[in-house]
Each structure stands twice: as structure tokens, then as C-alpha cells.
Amino acid sequence: MHVRVSTRRNKDGTAVRYLQLTHNEWDPTTKTSRPKVLHSFGREDQLDRDAIKRLVASLTRLLDPATALTGSQAPGAAGLAFTSSRPVGGTLVLDALWRRLGIDTVMTRLLTGRKRDPRTERVLFALVANRALAPGSKLAAAGWVNRRAHIDGLAETSDDACYRAMDWLLDIAPDLEREVFWQVATLLDHEVDLLFFDTTSTYFQTDEPDDPLARDVRGRPVPDQDPGDGDGDGDGDGDGDGDGDGEGEDTGGGVGFRTYGKSKDSRDDLPQVVIGMAVTRAGIPVRVWCWPGNTTDSALIRQAREDMRDWTLARVMWVADRGFSSTQNRRELRRGGGHYIIGEKLRSGSAEATAALSRQGRYSHVRDNLQVKEVKIAADERFVICFNPEQAERDAALREVMVGKLTALIADTDRLTVTKRAELRGRISTMPGLNRFLRVTPKGLLRVDRKKIAGEVNLDGKYLLRCSDPHLSAEDIALGYKQLLQVERGWRDMKTTLELRPVYHRLEERIRAHVILCWLALLLVRIVETTTGATWNRVREDLQDLHVGTFTGPAGTFRQRTELTTAQRDILAKLDINAPKKIIELGPATTL
């Protein structure tokens, strides 16, 4: 079979070339080979080259890729080269979940009619996948897409395209967050009646905080004070951890976004921002917030409650750490029929804590090492003391170590001068574990506080909860609060696996968009974990062993995946994701 060129002459004598696809057939009568025309392409100067490309692509799908591209029956025939190999398993799974949640649909709908690159949705998915698979700066993410990842519908991108996509992401965030929430509630059938809320902070390695701006109650710049868009790479590295505690200044008035506040990372010396997150009882993060670095936790939870009420939830039980137990917060959470489970500081010396510890009663065993006892203190609130015997043993052992260190440190200090004892007292004050058990006599002598130790023994392994719901059992209250660990685990994963820090941005809008990207990555990662029962690190390791190889030949290019392992098939089956086709892409050369 070959392409035959025939020449005909017009009436004016000019020659015109015609192309035909022919096949030689043997004529037994004349005992000669005669060409048989299979298809006529028409005049050479009027050739529809795109139509021929489509024809070639259609025919090559019926053939072995190596045969199609080399014209030989041998897969290793000359002219076929193996040019590259990229991991495909991680992006394939994340993309399938991205589409299942309808994120691509929402973004495509919002892109309609806008003068934006239609690939913006693909670029945003690439940035989210990058955080889950190989987190880095947006410049590094662009290089990762271009050289180290296989993403359906996005062969290459640039750092400028990434920045433009981030700017647009912040514009559509409210619509996107609402859609994700309802998809988690309905499509994935996750319960959203119990939401856990906690905050953390992340600091920036910069010498000065941002310039003050007038802000609304949500902590956002008022329109005429918005610093606008633009790129820029800020400084910042390190890590942080949050526990839900904190007091600081209000976000109202003029304040910079990256500003000083009570750091959850013990870095009060550096500007920071505050981040809040709401998580379902299954550990799925459904919404994220970002505020200036001096915003108090009290203001944060009220804002979060207001935002979630806009989504017309019928009933939500908010679970929060002890940093949110103020009277104003509790009143806000009960508005609209809502309820709360909040931790209470046993060492605070509050009237509730003192009364709860003084009440007699027997503990009821719940499960594992958890025991509970409900005590009557107030008419409109319930208080539950939780006790973990194993934690009590650990608390006692740790206290023994701390007291031993303190005893050795202050031994023979009575012989020191007043100045030397004061210096030692100052050093101990910087050691919270030791300082808790130190007592200074009226004469300035250093002693171990035996009364304090006796009081601590009564607190070993215990924590106090307050709840506004009159119908929940004490067991459900305790177990509900115990699941708050899901939020803390979310912060840990966001700051380590997904590398929330360092934040390579200095402008407020870019920082906010970066936090949203991290949230979307955590959302997909947590769905994988809750569905497969395995950690993301383990799943990622198995998935990234699935590669797609690129082969090129004289006739074009094809891409083929490696064979699926048992672990990869198991992951795909649990996630209900179809295995990718063996031949991922097949196309002719760009020229005839």
C-alpha cells in the first residue's frame, strides 16, 4: 500500500498533481500487478492535511503502537525511541476525585464568558496536585508540570499562568467552597452535623509587618484600601503548630495582614497570619479561613459560625478547643438552634472547673481507656469530666521527671547569694515544666511546691468539657470532643506533608489563595485516606510508581502506562476509580 502521485494537464497545458492511496493486486489472467485505488485525496495543492491527520489517527488506533509508528511488526524496530517517563498514578487519582467533587464543573461554569485562559481550571488542579505530590513554590510547580508530571489536559504551563490562576481562585472562592461543602455532604455521604473548628498560625521570615489597612469585620481590606494584585516572592520558611488557644488584638481598624500576634509556633517575634478550619467528624476539611495575624480566636469562631449559617444548615454541633470557651463565643454558637462541645481549662481556677472537680461520683467506662462522669453545675449547660487512666500514668511519670530535675537544680541554693538565686530563678521561669512546681519563700529561698504537686495529682489524665445540647449522652460528648484530634491532624499534615510553609508570597491576595490551594489538597488527600484506610504517604508512594512512558517514531508519538501492581489496583478499587487505559495517548506526527 502506498501513496500514488498522478499528473494531469489542464486545457492550458499546466500540470496538476493528484494523490491517491493505492494497493497493488495480482491479476492472474494477465499475470501482472495492477494498482487498485483505495482512496483519492484530490489535488495536491488543495490537500486537506487536517483530514489526513484524523484518518491516520483513526487507523493507528487499530494497530499496536510500536507497529503504527515504525511501520514494522517488531516493537523494538529501528526509529522508535523511548524519550521520557513521568509518574501518573498520583495525578490520575487526585484528578478523578477533583472531578467527582464537581470542582472542575464549577470552575468551568465560572470561566464561561470571562476573558481568561480556558486552561485555568487545569492550572489550578495542577497547583493542588503539586502540593499533595511534590510541594514547592509556584515557579517550581510550573517546572514540575512541564517536566515531571503527567496531567490530563495540561502539557505545560508557566509561573505567570499559575499566578493568574491563583488570582482568579480567590474571586470564585465563595462559590467553590459552597459547592465542595454540599458535595461532601451529599455525593460522598459524609455527616456534616458535627463540625470541628480550630485555628493555627503561620509566620513569615520578614523584618517588618505589612502596612496597616482599614478592614471590615471579616478581616478583609475595605475596597478602597485593597492593595490589589501582583506577584512577588516573600520570605518565609519553617513550621508551626496550633492548639486553638490565643488572645490578641481585634481585626477591626487599620492592621496589616502579616502582623504580630500570639503565635501558635512560639514565634511572637515574627509577623504571622491566622488560619481557621472546619472539619467533619470523618476528618474531611470543608472550609478554611484566613485572617490578619493579630485576630483573636473569639472573633474567628464567631465569623466561622456566621459564614456556615449562610449555607442554611439545619443543625450544627460545633466542637472547639478550650481557647474558644468565652461567654460571647458560647452565646454566638447557640444562635439559630446550634450547639457546642467546648473544652474547659481545668487549671484555670474558674468557678466551673473548681465546682466540677469537687463533685463526687463514679466514672462510667466508655471505651478503650476513656471514662466519663457528668456533674451538675449549671441549668443551661452540661459538664463532663473525662478520665484516661493511661494518660494519668504518663502525666505522673512526666511530673516525677520534672520534679527530679527541679530538685537537682535548686539543691544547695540556700548557700548562694541573693543575686545568684535571683539569676537562677530567672532561668527557671523560662522552663514552664519546672517553673510550675517552684515555690519561692518570703526570704527568697527556692523550694519544690509540694502543695502544687498534690493539686496536680488530682488532675492527672483528666479534662473537662462543657456542652449546650441537653440530649447528647455523656459518652457522645466525650467521643465527639475526642475527634477534635482530626483537626489537629489536619494542621499537622497541612504543615508537613503539604508544606503550608514556607509561603513564597508577600501580597495578601496571593497568601489567601495559597491557603485555599493547601485546603483543596488536604481535602483530596483526606478523602483518599478515609476511603482506603491507608496514610497518604503510603498511598502516594504506591501510586507514584505508576508511570507513563513516551515513545516517538517517524510517524508520531504514543504514551503508554506501566503495568499496574497489586497495590495500585487495590487503591483504585477502593476509590472506585477505573484503571487508566494502557495506551494513554496516540497521535501522528505533526507534519506529513
Are 42 and 53 a contacting pair, CB within 8 Å? Answer: no
The pLDDT of residue 235 is above 60: no
Q: How far apart are CA 454 and CA 145, in angstroms?
A: 60
Question: At 314, is the pLDDT very low, low, confident or very high (cuts 50, 70, 90)?
Answer: low
The pLDDT of residue 432 is above 70: yes
Between residues 568 and 26, which one has the greater pLDDT?
568
| Residue 292: per-residue pLDDT | 94
| Residue 220: per-residue pLDDT | 87
Which residue has 455525593 as its cell numbers?
A: 187
Contacts of 491 (CB under 8 A, 6+ apart): 198, 200, 241, 242, 277
Question: How would you classify residue 531: left for phi > 0, otherwise alpha for psi between -120 and 50, otherwise beta?
Answer: alpha
| Residue 237: per-residue pLDDT | 35
Question: At 59, is the pLDDT very low, low, confident or very high (cuts 50, 70, 90)?
Answer: low
Mean pLDDT for 255-281 is 88
Between residues 85 and 313, which one has the greater pLDDT?
85
282-291 confidence digits (pLDDT tens): 788 888 999 9
Task: Name the grid cell of 50.
Answer: 487536517
The percentage of the chain sitting over the pLDDT mark of 70, rounded to a whole number, equals: 85
| Residue 251: per-residue pLDDT | 43
Provide the whole-model pTM.
0.72
- Among 434, 585, 499, 458, CA closest to 127: 499
46-58 confidence digits (pLDDT tens): 777 777 777 766 6
The pLDDT of residue 336 is above 70: no
**Cα 310 from chain centroid (whole Å):** 24
94-105 confidence digits (pLDDT tens): 999 999 999 999
Encoded amino acid at 227, one letter: P
Length of the chain equals 592
| Residue 333: per-residue pLDDT | 79
| Residue 385: per-residue pLDDT | 93
The pLDDT of residue 165 is above 80: yes
DSSP annotation of 581 reads P
**Cα 434 from chain centroid (whole Å):** 37
| Residue 77: per-residue pLDDT | 45
Please work out, in degrees rounded to the nearest 5, the angle formed at the alpha carbon of residue 163 by the alpha carbons of 162 and 164: 90
The pLDDT of residue 240 is above 60: no
Torsion of CA 198, 204, 205, 211, to 10 degrees: -140
| pLDDT-wise least confident of 132-136, 346-350, 434-438 | 346-350
437-479 confidence digits (pLDDT tens): 999 999 999 999 999 999 889 899 998 999 998 888 898 888 8
Mean pLDDT for 478-498 is 80
Q: How far apart are CA 282 and CA 396, in angstroms?
A: 32
